[in-house]
């Protein structure tokens, strides 16, 4: 039984050892400079404006959640595309029902104005 798990344990030991060596080397050999610019927040090359305590609009989170929901739902279309011929007419009807449900949700979100940026 040990022979079965030995390669896995060996790889884990090598991984932990290498990470420890790299952490040790970066802490002891790496150059440390404390400049004023290094401690400032940085995002996409744009200088920060205002404080970091400003609230983020809920609309950003709503759009992100909607994107994730619709993106995950569209992923379910790929397995259908792979075996579409095997499923025949039954699969076509089922995927049409699925797409109609997605479209109803999309038009509901449009109707509620969730994607409008005023």
For 35-61, write each residue's pLDDT tens digit. 766 666 666 666 667 676 777 777 888
Mean pLDDT of the chain: 84
What pLDDT score was predicted for residue 59?
80
18 part of a folded domain: no
| 5 occurs within a structural domain | no
Number of domains in the chain: 1
Q: Is residue 16 one of the residues assigned to a domain?
A: no
**What's the domain range around 83?**
57-118
CATH number of the domain at 66, please: 1.20.58.1610
Question: Is residue 2's pLDDT more than 90?
Answer: no
* Residue 76 resides in a domain: yes
Q: Is 47 among the domain residues?
A: no
pLDDT band at 20 (very low <50, low <70, confident <90, very high): very high
Question: Is residue 114 domain-resident?
Answer: yes
**What does the alpha-carbon distance between residue 116 and residue 112 come to, in Å, rounded to a whole number?**
9
Question: How open is the CA angle 66-68-69, to the nearest 5 degrees?
Answer: 65
pTM given for the model = 0.50
DSSP letter string, 27-60: HHHS-----TGGGS--BTTBPP-S-TTPPPPHHH
């Amino acid at each position: 039984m040990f022979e079965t798990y030995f390669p896995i344990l060996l790889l884990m030991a090598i991984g932990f050892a290498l990470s420890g060596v790299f952490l040790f080397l970066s802490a002891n050999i790496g150059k440390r400079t404390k400049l004023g610019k290094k401690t400032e927040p940085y995002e996409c090359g744009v200088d920060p404006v205002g404080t970091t305590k400003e609230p983020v609009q809920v609309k950003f989170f709503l759009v992100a959640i909607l994107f994730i929901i619709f993106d995950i739902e569209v992923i379910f279309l790929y397995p259908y595309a792979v075996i579409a011929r095997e499923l025949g007419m039954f699969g076509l009807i089922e995927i049409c029902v699925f797409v109609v449900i997605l479209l109803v949700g999309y038009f509901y979100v449009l109707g509620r104005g969730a994607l409008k940026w005023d």
